[in-house]
């Protein structure tokens, strides 16, 4: 459990900024994550998620503002790292050590490890700890880092896109681990691209765009971003409008040919299915857009490489 008083946020950033020459990677970011929360940190490529995490870890020095872990300034790494465990986006391990030796080394320098739980996690993640790290795939290296982090009782777990190399079965295990950590009272700060992952485990979410926190929302608010893209192919041309105009939840209705139409759907599918039942439908494709695409729709496409400093 945190040594600090419960009122102290697990993570607090105030007017945090990081500039790399002309690129503003993190721009005046203020955020407080209370102890015990599972906080999702979402943003498109280049939004500044990893930079923020490196500032939290004291791996970078802020250009402005500051960040604290349970009230300890991030630059006081000796004290701050007693409160946290971390999984980086690109896990690097010592190639000549076996997985088990890597786990032991990480446990020796970390904030304390529950060895019985670690053994259980090695099994659950189907990790072969006797192989040398140089033979591990990206996903296996990620598993070592995840097992090492989840086996600690660090009050704060900082996870930077930790499931990018995991298959769906392992991703399910990851979600269980987050839930178990939260049940123990650990705080989880999870950077992710995956809306489904964030929905499954986070209670609150911050959305980062061009280094700026554009939104901090509860999950129910985030759900409004969800929508499906529907493509319909007909056997024969339908009458104008085809009874789809004004159907609940349907937007962006487009005929791409006399026999094909696309639309987006927010909310329950029943009204549109009723409308489609009157048509001679030969193919129906329902696709859920990626988080990236949702970001583009909601926040525009000027996200490429961080904000430029205006001269
Ligand atoms: N060491 C660096 N030197 C110069 N620019 C950097 C450096 N590190 C990051 N950047 C820039 O800062 C911006 C934010 O990068 P960052 O890696 O934090 O984004 P991210 O949200 O983690 O992206 P991704 O999801 O692709 O990992 C980008 O424009 C990136 O090019």
Q: What is the CATH number of the domain that holds 236?
A: 3.30.70
CA gap 219, 196 in Å, rounded: 11
What is the rounded average pLDDT of the residues 141-150? 95
Same domain, 114 and 234: no
Per-residue pLDDT reduced to its tens digit, 21-73: 999 999 999 999 999 999 999 888 889 999 999 999 999 999 999 999 999 99
Ligand 1 pocket member 23 (CB < 6 A): yes
- Residues 235 and 279 occupy one common structural domain: yes
Does residue 305 belong to any structural domain of this protein? no
- How buried is residue 257: exposed, middle or buried, by Cβ count under 10 Å (0-12/13-18/19+)? exposed
Instruction: Clarify whether residues 21 and 162 are in a common domain.
Output: yes
Whether pLDDT at 4 is above 80 = no
Single out the residue of 145, 104, 153 nearest to residue 127, CA to CA: 145
Q: Is the pTM of this model over 0.90?
A: no
What domain range is 243 assigned to? Answer: 227-287
- Is 307 domain-assigned? no
pLDDT of 207 higher than 60: yes
84 and 205, same domain (yes or no): yes
Instruction: Establish whether residue 49 lines the binding site of ligand 1, counting it when its CB lies within 6 angstroms of any ligand atom.
Output: yes
Instruction: Indicate whether 123 and 259 sit together in one domain.
Output: no
pLDDT at 299 over 70: no
- As to burial, measured by CB atoms within 10 angstroms (0-12 exposed, 13-18 middle, 19+ buried), residue 29 is buried
CA of 9 to the centre of ligand 1 (A): 26
Of 203, 224, 245, which marks where a domain is finished? 224
Residue 35 and residue 64 in one domain: yes
**Taken in order 60, 66, 70, 75, is the CA torsion positive or negative?**
positive
ipTM rounded to 2 decimals: 0.96
For residue 285, the surrounding DSSP H or E stretch is: strand 281-287
CB atoms within 10 A of CB 280: 12
Instruction: Collect all residues with Cβ–Cβ distance below 8 Å to 259 and sequence separation of at least 6.
Output: 233, 234, 235, 236, 237
Contacts of 17 (CB under 8 A, 6+ apart): 24, 26, 27, 28, 29, 62, 63, 64, 65, 211
Q: Does residue 136 sit in the same domain as residue 92?
A: yes
Ligand 1 and 141: CB distance under 6 A? no
Query: What is the phi/psi pair of residue 139, to 5°?
Result: -65, -40
For ligand 1, atom 11: residue with the closest CA: 25
**295 in any annotated domain:** no
Whether residue 217 is found in the same domain as residue 184: yes
Query: What percentage of the chain reaches a pLDDT higher than 90?
Result: 58
Distance CA 157, CA 150 (A): 8
pLDDT greater than 90 at residue 310: no
Distance 161 CA to ligand 1 centre (A): 14
The rounded distance, in Å, linking the Cα atoms of 161 and 88 is 8
Mean pLDDT of 257-264: 91
Same domain? 237 vs 219 = no
161 and 25 housed in the same domain = yes
**Boundary of a domain, candidates 193, 224, 255:** 224
* Cα dihedral: 226, 24, 56, 98 (round 10): 80
The band of 308, judged by pLDDT with boundaries at 50, 70 and 90, is: very low
């Amino acid at each position: 459990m945190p040594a600090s008083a419960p009122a102290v946020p697990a993570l607090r950033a105030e007017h945090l900024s990081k500039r790399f020459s002309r690129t503003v990677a993190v721009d005046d970011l203020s955020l407080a994550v209370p102890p015990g929360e599972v906080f999702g940190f979402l943003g498109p490529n280049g939004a500044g998620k990893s930079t923020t995490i490196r500032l939290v870890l004291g791996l970078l020095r802020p250009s402005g503002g500051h960040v604290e872990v349970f009230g300890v300034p991030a630059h006081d790494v000796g004290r701050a790292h007693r409160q946290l465990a971390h999984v980086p986006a690109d896990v690097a391990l010592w190639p000549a050590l076996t997985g088990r030796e890597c786990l032991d080394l990480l446990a020796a320098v970390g904030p304390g490890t529950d060895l019985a739980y670690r053994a259980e996690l090695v099994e659950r993640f189907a990790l072969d700890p006797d192989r040398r790290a140089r033979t591990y795939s990206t996903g296996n290296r990620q598993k070592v880092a995840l097992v090492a982090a989840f086996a600690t009782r660090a009050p704060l777990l900082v996870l930077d896109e930790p499931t990018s190399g995991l298959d769906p079965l392992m991703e399910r295990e990851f979600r269980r681990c987050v839930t178990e950590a939260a049940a123990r009272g650990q705080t989880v700060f999870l950077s992710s691209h995956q809306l489904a992952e964030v929905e499954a485990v986070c209670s609150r979410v911050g959305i980062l765009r061009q280094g700026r926190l554009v939104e901090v929302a509860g999950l129910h608010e985030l759900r409004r971003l969800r929508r499906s893209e529907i493509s319909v192919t007909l056997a024969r041309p339908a009458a104008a409008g085809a009874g789809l105009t004004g159907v609940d939840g349907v937007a962006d209705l487009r005929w791409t040919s006399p026999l094909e139409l696309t639309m987006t759907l927010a909310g329950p599918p029943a009204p549109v299915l009723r409308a489609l039942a009157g048509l001679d439908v030969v193919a129906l494709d329902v696709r859920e857009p990626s988080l990236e695409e949702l970001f583009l729709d909601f926040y525009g496409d000027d996200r490429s490489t961080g904000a430029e400093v205006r001269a």
